[in-house]
Chain A
Amino acid sequence: MVPLHTSTETDASTYSDPAPSQGVQHGTPPPGASLSGAVQPVAVPPGSVGLVSPRFIAFDEPLQLSSGQVLPCYELAVETYGTLNAERNNAVLICHALNASHHVAGMSADNPKDIGWWDNMVGPGKAVDTDRFFVIGVNNIGSCFGSTGPASINPDTGKPWGAAFPMLTVKDWVLAQVRLADHFGIEKFAAVMGGSLGGMQALGWAITCPERIAHCIVIASTPRLSAQNIGFNEVARRAIISDPDFHGGDYYAHGTVPRKGLSVARMIGHITYLSDDDMAAKFGRTQRSPAQNGEYHYGYDVEFEVESYLRYQGEKFSTYFDANTYLLITRALDYFDPSRTHGGDLAKALAVASAEFLLVSFSTDWRFPPARSREIVEALLKNRTPVTYAEIDAPHGHDAFLQGDPRYHAVVQGYYDRIAAQLGLPGRQAVNGVLA
C-alpha cells in the first residue's frame, strides 16, 4: 500500500546523541554502543523487548484540527517492537495517557534503567505478545517526549510555539496516528489499545476510521469526563496558569518553567490515580520524621509520609514534563465526548464502529469508575457490537491499569490469543511477565 501522505523518517541519532539508529534490538546492545563507550552491555530480562530507541517520522502535510486551526506539519516519536508480517495484519497500536510516551516497552538504549511504561504488558511472551504482534508505541502531538508540541519550534516564527500551539482533541490525535499507519503501510490494525486517555483514542479510532481497526481495547477509560473529573483538571490547570513563571504559556522565551504550578498539578492528579485503600495501605497517617516522642511539628512543612511522597512526585514530574503539554492534554480529556454530536446518545456515536471490543475496568478506580465503562458496554450491546467486559477487583485505583494484576493480564492475554487465532498468526511460544 502506498502511504497516503508524505512522511519522512529519521533515526534517533539526530535527536539524542549518541543513541543508536536501530528501532529495536532483541537482547543485544546496540551496535555502536561499544564504539561510543556510552552504553555498557545490558542483561535483558525474559519477556523484555530489549534495548529500544525512538524513530522520528515527519509529516509535512497540514493537519486540520477539530478547533478549526491547522498544524502545518508535525513529527511523531515512535517505538516499534516485533515484526510487521507480510500481510501487514499483525499490527497493534498502543496509545498513551496523560503523562506517558512512545516508550511503551523495553529499555531505552541511552538509559537502560528507563523501562517502558507498559513493559509488564508488552513483550515477547507477554499478554501483548511481540513474538507474534508488531506493536507501535507513539507519542502524541502536543506532548513533550519528541513529537511536535508546544516546546517545539514554530516554523513560522522560528521560536517555540508556546501559547500559540493549537488546542488538540482526541480525534486530532487519531487523525495524526492514521498517517502513521499509512507510513507503515498498515491498512487495518489487529488492535488499537490504550488505558485511560489512551482508551479514549482507541474508541476514537473505532469511531473515526472503523474500517482500519479490527479490535478496540479500552482499559480504565470513560466515554466522557464527569463534572468531578473536569473539576480536578481545572484545579491542575489553574495551579500552572497562576504560577508567575508561566508567562501566559510563553515561559520558554523568559527562560523560566512554571515548576511550582506543574508540581501542584501533578500532586492533584496523582491523588486521583490512587484509591483510598491504596493510600491508606501505603502511607496511612505515618509521620515523616516525628518530633521527640512522636510529637507533631506543628507547622506546614512535611508532617506526614503522604505529603512527602506527593511533593516528591510533583517535583520530579516538574523537571521533565512540559506545563503547556499538561494544559493541552487535560483539556483534550475534558473535550472528549463522542456522544456530543449525537444528542448525548453514546450508542448512536458508536453505531459506525465495526471493531470487536474488549473493555476492562477496576473496582477501586474512582477517577474512571466501572460505571463509566459499563456505559460503553451498554451502548455496544445496544448496537449488537461484539463486546467483552472484565471488571477487575484490584486495589490500586485508576493506576491498576499499569499494574500487574494477574486476572487483568490473563483477560488481555486470552483476548490477544483469540485475535492471533482469528488472524491465523502462530501460537504463543512463551509465557512471560505477570503470568509466567
Chain B
Amino acid sequence: MSETRTLAARDALRRADEASSQAATRAIRPDLARIASWIDSGSRVLDLGCGDGTLLAYLRDQKQVEGAGVEFDDARVISAVRRGVRVIQQNLEEGLALFDDQQFDSVVLSQTLQAMHHTEHILREMARVARYGIVSFPNFGYWPHGFSILRGRMPVTGEMPYQWYDTPNIHLCTLKDFEALAAKLKLRITHLATFNGGKEVKFLAGWRSTLAVYRFESPMAAK
C-alpha cells in the first residue's frame, strides 16, 4: 500500500512538472475564453475541477477576479499552487459543504459534469453557492455519434476519446437533455455557446457541436 502511494506521489510530481513547463506557452482555450467573457471583472468565482488553474489565473490577471478552485488530482493541485491560484483539494462528489450559500458570484464546472455520479446534486450545490453557474460538457448529440451507433458501435471522438469500458464519462447528454434537467432544477439558462474543435458553432448546434457551454442563474438569486 505504501509503495503504491509512493509511486502515485512520484507520478503526480512528474505530471505537475510537465504541466508547469507547458503552461507558460499555452493560450487559453476558446471555450474557457467564452466562460471568462461571462464573468464580471472583480467578481468572486469558484472553479470546480479547476485543473492546473488556467482559467482562474486568467481571470485573476485579466479581470481582477477573486477566485478559488476545487481540484482532486495531486498533480493539478501542485500546478495550481505554482501558478498562485488558490486551490482546495477535495473530491467534488463529496459536495460543496465547505462553501456557504451564495458565497460566489459565479461557479464554473468545466467538462466535468459528465464524469460525476451525482449530477443533480452538484447542479443544486452550484445554484446554492453562487448566483450564476457555468457548465460545459461534451455534446452526445453530435451527429457522428448517432452515425456510430447506427453502425453498431459506441462513439469515440475528439471530446470523448474513450472506449465504452474505460471512459470516465458516465452521464452523457445532449443539449436538449441538459435543458430539460435545468428546467426541472429551476435553473434559468441565460447563455449558451457551442464549439467544435475549438471553433464556435451557431448553425444546427445540437447536431454539429462537440462541446456545449451553458450559463444559468440560480433560483436562489432570482428570488
Residues in chain A within 8 A of chain B (CB atoms): 277-278, 281, 374, 377-378, 381-382, 384, 386-395, 405-407, 410-411, 414-415, 417-418, 421, 435
Contact = CB atoms under 8 A, between A and B. Distances in A.
A165 to B, nearest CB: 41
A390 B81 contact: yes
Nearest to A435: B13
Interface of B: 1-2, 5, 8-10, 12-13, 16, 44, 66, 68, 74, 77-78, 81-82, 84, 86-90, 97-100, 103
Contacts of B10: 406
19 contacts: A277-B2, A378-B98, A381-B68, A382-B100, A382-B103, A384-B44, A384-B66, A388-B87, A389-B88, A390-B81, A391-B89, A406-B9, A406-B13, A407-B9, A407-B13, A407-B74, A407-B78, A410-B78, A411-B77
Contact of A414 (B66, B82, B98): B82
A377 B2 contact: no
Nearest to B82: A414
The listed residue with most A CB atoms (<10 A of its CB), out of B1, B77, B87, B99, is: B77
B98 A417 contact: no
Contacts, number: 75
User: What secondary structure prevails in chain A residues at the interface with B?
Assistant: helix
Contact of A415 (B9, B12, B81, B89): B81
Closest A-B pairs by Cβ, 5 of them: A414-B81, A414-B82, A418-B84, A395-B2, A391-B89
Contact of A281 (B1, B68, B90): B1
Nearest to A387: B86
Nearest to B68: A381
Contact of A418 (B81, B89, B98): B81
Contacts of A389: 87-90
A374 to B, nearest CB: 6
Given A388-B81, A388-B86, A406-B10, A394 B98 contact: no
A383 to B, nearest CB: 10
Contact of B1 (A277, A377, A391): A277
A387 B69 CA distance: 10
A417 B82 CA distance: 7
A70 to B, nearest CB: 41
A386 B208 CA distance: 41
